[in-house]
Amino acid sequence: MDCPGDLPAPSDPDLVARATAAKAALGDRVFVLGHHYQRDEVIQFADVTGDSFKLAQQAAARPDAEFILFCGVHFMAESADILTTPDQKVILPDLAAGCSMADMAVLGQVETAWERFEDLGITGEIVPVTYMNSSADIKGFVGRNKGVVCTSSNAKRALDWSFEQGSKVFFLPDQHLGRNTAVLEMGFDLDDCVLYDPHKPGGGLTDDQLRNARMILWRGHCSVHGRFTLESVREVRERVPGVNVLVHPECRHEVVRAADYVGSTEYIIKALDAAEPGSSWAVGTELNLVRRMALAHPDKQIMFLDRAVCYCSTMNRIDLPHLVWALEELVAGRVPNQITVDPDTAHHARVALDQMLALP
Ligand code: 13P
Ligand code: SF4
């Protein structure tokens, strides 16, 4: 028996028609945002697609839309809730669409680290910076402590700003984005960076290591991008002469160092759009995006950097049945899977997000 509100079967041949009809019925009341890592079946219904930065800007730019349907992951929907008006409702079609990297920094652990820095008397010199890929709690912590949020497209600008405010940065939660930006874009040495491991007493660092460090990196990483290796780069260069290696800055340092180009998902798309016909590209980022680009550019040879790496399983949780379900629930007058951030956290997180949006 069919219950109203049930998730439709993936085999339902009417899913596209149902999504189209529900979206049309909602009209301007709904604004659908789609991250570049979403499946094609979902992306076709997005009003705007983008990287994390563009989607945050876009969420803030549509105060008239009653519902922001966020096809992405939980931390993005939280940021959208923080940046939208109190009357707007942000919906994540599947609540299981989290992010393993964001889960690697929990507020209690970060506060413990900060207490350690306070005991050492160095918090006055430290500016906390969190990657967008973190919970609202962590963004709130950063806002309370006069820091900034960054994304993969503005990490250098966020670090430039931070080093004008203090002499050290505490970078959460992606060690690779922090290290890659500091060393490859800002000229720091690898020795200027230390790795704070929340699972070790004192972060696994001595007092002197913390006092001397310029970048204190949190031990977090992306479980998808962390799987590309230097070996993948060497292998593709041998196999495909003249190949251009293009990777996301969430990849390991040695991979980014060995690549030809590095940038956010939006940068990757622009680079491939602008590439010469006949050129070859090995791309180190999530598979949905690489496949979409390969299909869009049959005149260019666009391949995945490593065949052993797969989709982001949490991004992939949002599929057409979840999208149809969420849209039809809205048409029926119910608000499914609303993402809300408590007002105090939202206030402080907004300070750090606004600081990012105001970066030059
Ligand atoms: P960008 O789209 O900002 O490059 O982020 C990539 C990512 O991992 C999102 O989860
Ligand atoms: Fe998180 Fe990595 Fe998936 Fe992005 S690709 S949502 S950082 S696990």
Q: What is the DSSP string of 225-284?
A: GGG--HHHHHHHHHHSTTPEEEE-TTS-HHHHHHSSEE--HHHHHHHHHHSPTT-EEEEE
Q: Which of 314, 322, 268, 323 is nearest to 291 (CA)?
A: 268
Q: Which of 246, 236, 280 is nearest to 266 (CA)?
A: 246
If you count DSSP H runs as helices and E runs as strands, how many of each does the chain have, helices first?
16, 13
Query: Do 139 and 231 belong to one domain?
Result: no
CA of 197 to the centre of ligand 2 (A): 20
Instruction: Report yes or no on 243 lying in a domain.
Output: yes
Smallest CA separation from ligand 2 atom 1, residue: 99
Give the nearest ligand 2 atom to 223 CA: 8
Half-sphere exposure of 321 (CA within 13 A, CB side): 11
Instruction: Report yes or no on 173 lying in a domain.
Output: yes
Range of the domain at 46: 15-98+315-340
Q: What does the block give as tokens for 117?
A: 């820095």
Instruction: Report yes or no on 63 lying in a domain.
Output: yes
Query: Do 153 and 75 belong to one domain?
Result: no
pLDDT score, position 6: 84
Ligand nearest 36 Cα, by number? 1
Query: Do 243 and 300 belong to one domain?
Result: yes
Q: What does the block give as tokens for 107?
A: 């507020």
Distance (Å, whole) CA 215 – CA 167: 9
Instruction: Report yes or no on 19 lying in a domain.
Output: yes
Instruction: Report yes or no on 59 lying in a domain.
Output: yes
Query: Interior CA angle at 172 toward 314 and 36, to 5°?
Result: 35
Query: Do 114 and 139 belong to one domain?
Result: yes
Q: Identify the CATH number of the domain in which residue 235 sits.
A: 3.40.50.10800
Distance (Å, whole) CA 50 – CA 151: 12
Q: Are residues 349 and 143 in contact, defined by beta-carbon separation less than 8 angstroms?
A: yes
Q: What is the pLDDT along the chain (360 residues), one digit of tens a residue?
A: 445 568 999 999 999 999 999 999 999 999 999 999 999 999 999 999 999 989 988 999 999 999 999 999 999 999 999 999 999 999 999 999 999 999 999 999 999 999 999 999 999 999 999 999 999 999 999 999 999 999 999 999 999 999 999 999 999 999 999 999 999 999 999 999 999 999 999 999 999 999 999 999 999 999 999 999 999 999 999 999 999 999 999 999 999 999 999 999 999 999 999 999 999 999 999 999 999 999 999 999 999 999 887 799 999 999 999 999 999 999 999 999 999 999 999 999 999 999 999 998
Strand-pairing partners, residue 200, are none
Instruction: Report yes or no on 122 lying in a domain.
Output: yes
Q: How far separated are the first and last CA of the chain, in Å rounded?
A: 56
pLDDT score, position 53: 87
**255, 279, 304 - which closes a domain:** 304
254: left (phi over 0), alpha (psi -120 to 50) or beta: alpha
Query: Do 215 and 259 belong to one domain?
Result: no
Q: What does the block give as tokens for 294?
A: 């390969």
Total domains present in the chain: 3
pLDDT score, position 1: 42
Query: Do 84 and 169 belong to one domain?
Result: no
Q: Are residues 60 and 75 in contact, defined by beta-carbon separation less than 8 angstroms?
A: no
Half-sphere exposure of 129 (CA within 13 A, CB side): 36
Query: Do 147 and 186 belong to one domain?
Result: yes
Smallest CA separation from ligand 2 atom 2, residue: 222
**203, 221, 239 - which closes a domain:** 221
Pairing of strands 193-196, 280-284: unpaired
SS (H, E, C) 135-185: CHHHHHHHHHCCCEEECCCCHHHHHHHHHHHCCEEEEECCHHHHHHHHHHH
Query: Do 162 and 52 belong to one domain?
Result: no
CA of 222 to the centre of ligand 2 (A): 6
Ligand nearest 52 Cα, by number? 1
pLDDT score, position 92: 98
Ligand nearest 74 Cα, by number? 2
Half-sphere exposure of 150 (CA within 13 A, CB side): 30
248: Cβ contacts below 8 Å, ≥ 6 apart: 152, 225, 262, 263, 264, 265, 268, 284, 285
Query: Do 126 and 81 belong to one domain?
Result: no
Query: Do 166 and 207 belong to one domain?
Result: yes
pLDDT score, position 310: 78
Query: Do 109 and 214 belong to one domain?
Result: yes
Give the nearest ligand 2 atom to 174 CA: 7
- DSSP assignment letter at 33: E
Q: Which of 334, 238, 335, 325 is nearest to 10 (CA)?
A: 325
Amino acid at 297: H
Instruction: Report yes or no on 360 lying in a domain.
Output: no
Query: Do 204 and 113 belong to one domain?
Result: yes
Instruction: Report yes or no on 166 lying in a domain.
Output: yes
Pairing of strands 193-196, 215-218: parallel
Q: Are residues 242 and 257 in contact, defined by beta-carbon separation less than 8 angstroms?
A: no
CA of 336 to the centre of ligand 1 (A): 25
Distance (Å, whole) CA 220 – CA 231: 22
